[in-house]
Chain A
Amino acid sequence: MTRCILVFASTHQVMKAEKVLQEAGVRHEIIPTPKELSNDCGMSIRLSGAAKENTDTTEILTAHNIPFKLFERDTP
């Protein structure tokens, strides 16, 4: 199963993004940022589906001026 991991610049940005996604009714999960993606011990947001299936979500975040990096991951 392909999933997207959104990595943010700060914990405050994660919280802001989470609030925006909650208000938009987007299903998402908070997970610790995988070690290979970032050295800081931050949190990230995980979405099911590949990047192309999540364009609506990523547009919402961009519209709210929340920058992020997107990584696709295949997980069992």
Chain B
Amino acid sequence: MSIKPTLINMKTIDARGKSCPVPLIMTKKGVAEAAADESLVVLLDNETSAGNVTRFLQDHGMEVHTQREGSTITLTVPRGGAIPEQTDPAAWCTPDPAGTTNYMITIKQNTLGRGNDDLGQLLIKGFINTLPDIDHKPHTIAFLNAGIFLTLHDSPVLEALKKLEVSGIKILVCGTCLDFYQCKDSMAVGVVSNMYDILDAMTKAGKVIAP
């Protein structure tokens, strides 16, 4: 489908090289600035942004045509529209798929949740034993307080943790806690870490899961 000939008055937004939410913000600004008879062209260089911007425009009642040429994705909006001033474009960002791997887990007790301890122990075993089988694994798992008992040689989840460690996942074990519970010698997986290492990993992670 060729739509080029009719585009006499058009406003072009070049959002190539930008990542979300910048292309959305630029698009919102472009829509607001475009004259009534002006069509809008948005240039992008990745599918994630193209998908987000398309949804953003369509959700505000605009028609969007997509063309791909080389690495450039061109979105053409034949007729402009209106996007309310208070709309936050960032809400149309889909999370970066790579972000699903930038996460860590902290285990702060040897049970999962509060309630019956036997049940809690069963649940934490099920949780950790499932980690080697999931697609998006954490990059780090930190064990603190009574969580460190899960890293000792008699741990019921030792096999799963060793498997995770071999696959490159960092296992951080709180040294203060090993010392307090006097079981430094029994640690069977991971590296002894202090609060600097653990806090550093936590602050750099895209998200921290604490079951």
Q: Interface of A with B (CB < 8 Å)?
A: 11, 14-15, 18, 29-32, 43, 46
In the assembled complex, 5 residue pairs joining A and B whose CB atoms fall closer than 8 Å, in A order, are A15-B122, A29-B156, A29-B159, A32-B130, A43-B125
Determine if A43 and B122 form an interchain contact, defined as CB atoms under 8 angstroms apart: yes
Having A11-B122, A29-B156, A30-B129, one finds 16 other A-B pairs with CB under 8 Å, namely A18-B122, A29-B125, A29-B129, A29-B157, A29-B159, A29-B160, A30-B122, A30-B125, A30-B126, A30-B156, A31-B126, A31-B129, A31-B130, A43-B122, A43-B123, A46-B129
- In the assembled complex, the Cα of A29 lies from the Cα of B119 at a distance in Å of 15
Contact flags B106-136 to A (C-beta < 8 A → 1, else 0): 0000000000001100110110011000000
Q: Is the CB of A14 within 8 A of B122?
A: yes
Docked CA distance A47–B180 (Å): 34
Q: Which residues of B contact A43 (CB under 8 A)?
A: 122-123, 125-126
With a CB–CB cut-off of 8 A, which chain B residues contact A32? 126, 130
**B-side interface size class:** 10 to 19
The winner among A18, A29, A32 for most chain B CB atoms within 10 A is A29
Closest B residue to A48 by beta carbon equals B159
